[in-house]
Amino acid sequence: MQYSNFNNHKKVAIIGAGPAGITCAYQLIKQGVQVDVYESSSQVGGLAKTIELWGQKVDLGPHRFYSDDTRVNKLWLEVAGRDYKMVKRLTRIYYKGDFYCYPIKALDVLSKLGLYNSFLCLISYLKEKVLPSTRSQTFEEWVTHKFGKKLYEIFFKTYSEKLWGIKCNELDADFAAQRIKKFSLGEAIKNMFRIKNIKHKTLVDEFAYPLNGSGMIYERMKVFINENGGNVKCNTKIKKIQKTGNRVTGIELATGENLLYNHVVSTMPITSIIREWNDVPDGVKDCASILKFRNTILVYLNIDAQNLFEDNWIYIHSGSVKTGRISNFRNFVPELNQGNNSTILAMEYWCNYDDVLWGLNDTQLIELAKDELNTINITKGAKILAGHVFKIPNCYPIYNKNYKDQLKPVEDYLDQITGLTVIGRGGAFKYNNQDHSILMGMLAAENILFNSQHNLWEINTDYDNYQEHSLISATGLVDIN
Ligand SMILES: Cc1cc2nc3c(=O)[nH]c(=O)nc-3n(C[C@H](O)[C@H](O)[C@H](O)COP(=O)(O)OP(=O)(O)OC[C@H]3O[C@@H](n4cnc5c(N)ncnc54)[C@H](O)[C@@H]3O)c2cc1C
């Protein structure tokens, strides 16, 4: 590819050092662009950062890196080098006292639900096949169509309602389309009888994990950027993107200081950008004000035991507890626990700002988590040594039914602003995994460097025009074309 000289004159500010922002900076700095990254927290990596706790390393909830996009995997390997291991994925669903394999396996469901309930599941699945629902616009409709009503109620409804805080018939089908894709009961049955070995996204049973936690990748990018003439400035919050008319001129720090840039890449919540501008048309402002994020509370518990359970994480569907997922960091790579004998679990809670849960103090949240652990009884009375709370605002963009009707006018408005690129999970209002955000960062850099015309809004939708597919294995990339 040809790089033009104008890159030497470009001065780019990047807001947020999560996977999207720091990847973009990493790619730009390689081509000699002047880049400054501004991160409000004390560490890079965003939601995928790794923190130190009780002498061990933990992520913000479980972080499995997975991509079948060769571009993303090559970049990840370029940064990780050989410092990763393949981790066997074991994730199960806790429902009414039983642990079900996830992704669901037909035989497993049969043995745990019993013949009668399994029969009901099969009947409701077949009913969908013979008399399919005509609409698949909501999460409930989409999943019912794929799995039948009964399985939807057991395996998807309670968990999704805990996560999003809204009824599944108010949740857009996009969430299912992005996360469950084409997997269905039919596939599970075919896999059971080995009729067809379906390599589905949710069925991949191994993943590459960095020896120092998922955040290692982004910490290394930071070092590279700083060593090659860029600046990653942590503890620096950006209040506003400055513009004159429809042209970006720079940024305003939370301290009030103004800095000039001719391009800004933003991963801050899309709604925050709009809120700070007073010349945005009312219709666009109204749309942006309807877009909402869901918060996460992580309660870490340090348990005096080593072999509590084998899962990397367990989805908690049971309605008798508020927690939705429990991760076990002892089951990623041994390097994380750095020789310690205890096990750190992270219990996830999801809520809105005005929920009682968000207002609880750390002591109350730790007590709640301890009680719920007892209710589920997966630690079998092992001693809890300590607790720690981590609150994450604006963690999940909420895909309310028809949310795209609100998002589209905001996208169109932002597209008119010269010198602005908006990417990332909060930035683009996309329920991204790391790979989507890394790809957004890479393609945003190409747009800036070569004036490429990648439509960044389309990443992490059903749109996929990329032809080279590969997976990361213990020895590097494996072609899967
Ligand atoms: C519990 C949990 C589990 C997950 N599990 C997985 C998984 O298994 N696999 C996977 O691939 N992904 C997983 N993810 C998703 C993954 O963490 C995200 O996709 C990824 O971190 C998104 O990167 P991003 O850069 O788009 O956004 P973020 O990670 O949100 O980064 C945005 C950054 O911008 C900063 N920022 C925001 N506003 C400002 C401002 N005004 N000024 C300066 N800085 C600002 C933030 O502090 C943050 O660091 C999980 C996420 C969570 C919460």
Per DSSP, the residues of 318-361 read -TTSS--EEEEGGGS-GGGGTT--SEEEEEEEEE-TTSHHHH--
Q: Which pLDDT value is given to residue 4? A: 44
Residue partners of 83: CB distance under 8 A and separation at least 6? 210, 211, 212, 216
Residue, of 318 and 56, whose pLDDT is higher: 56
Over 70: is that where the pLDDT of 5 sits?
Answer: no
Q: Which CATH class is domain 293-397?
A: alpha beta
CATH of 5-51+213-281+403-463, one of 2.40.30.20, 3.40.190.10, 3.50.50.60, 3.30.1370.160: 3.50.50.60
* Ligand 1 atom having least distance to the Cα of 19: 25
Whether residue 299 contacts residue 389, with contact meaning beta carbons closer than 8 Å, is answered with: yes
Chain-wide mean pLDDT for the chain? 92
| Whether the predicted pLDDT of 155 surpasses 90 | no
Provide mean pLDDT across the span 343-356.
98
Ligand 1 centre to CA of 422 (Å) is 14
The 10s digit of each residue's pLDDT in 323-342 is 999 999 999 999 999 999 99
Are the CB atoms for 447 and 421 separated by under 8 Å? yes
Name the strand (E) or helix (H) holding 386. Answer: strand 384-397
Tokens 């009414």 correspond to 96
Distance in Å, CA 46 to ligand 1 centroid: 4
Q: What pLDDT shows up at residue 105?
A: 81
- Is pLDDT of 2 > 70? no
The answer, yes or no, to whether residue 1 has pLDDT greater than 50, is no
**Predicted pLDDT of residue 110:** 85
Q: Is the dihedral of CA 356, 362, 363, 368 positive or negative?
A: positive
Q: Which residues, including other chains, have CB under 8 Å from residue 357's CB and lie 6 or more apart?
A: 297, 322, 349, 351, 365
Ramachandran category for residue 67: left, alpha or beta (phi over 0 → left; psi -120 to 50 → alpha) = beta
Amino acid 175: pLDDT: 82
pLDDT single digits (tens) 164-204: 999 999 999 988 877 775 555 666 666 555 544 445 444 46
The 3-state DSSP class for residue 289 equals helix
The DSSP code for 153 is I
Tell whether the model's pLDDT for residue 154 goes beyond 80.
Answer: yes
- Is the distance from CB of 28 to CB of 243 less than 8 angstroms? no
Check: CB of residue 38 under 8 Å from CB of residue 233: yes
Mutate to test the pocket of ligand 1, among 267, 297, 389 (most ligand atoms within 8 A of CB): 267
Ligand 1 atom, smallest distance to 65 CA? 11
Mean pLDDT of 208-218: 98
Give just the sign of the alpha carbon dihedral 222, 50, 20, 435.
positive
Residue 468 has pLDDT above 90, yes or no: no
> Highest mean pLDDT: which of 71-85, 94-108, 180-194?
71-85
Gap from CA of 355 to ligand 1 centroid (Å): 22
Q: Are 398 and 166 in contact (CB under 8 A)?
A: yes
Q: 347 pLDDT exceeds 80? A: yes
Check residue 3 and give its pLDDT.
Answer: 41
Percent of the chain with pLDDT over 90: 78
In short, whether 39's Cβ falls inside 6 Å of ligand 1 is yes
Task: Quick: pLDDT tens for 372-428.
Answer: 999 999 998 899 999 999 999 999 999 999 899 999 999 999 999 999 999 999 999
Q: How far is CA 348 from CA 163, 320, 324, in A?
A: 9, 15, 6
pTM of this prediction?
0.94
Q: Where are the domains of the chain?
A: 5-51+213-281+403-463, 91-198, 293-397
Q: What pLDDT shows up at residue 414?
A: 98
| pLDDT recorded at residue 146 | 86
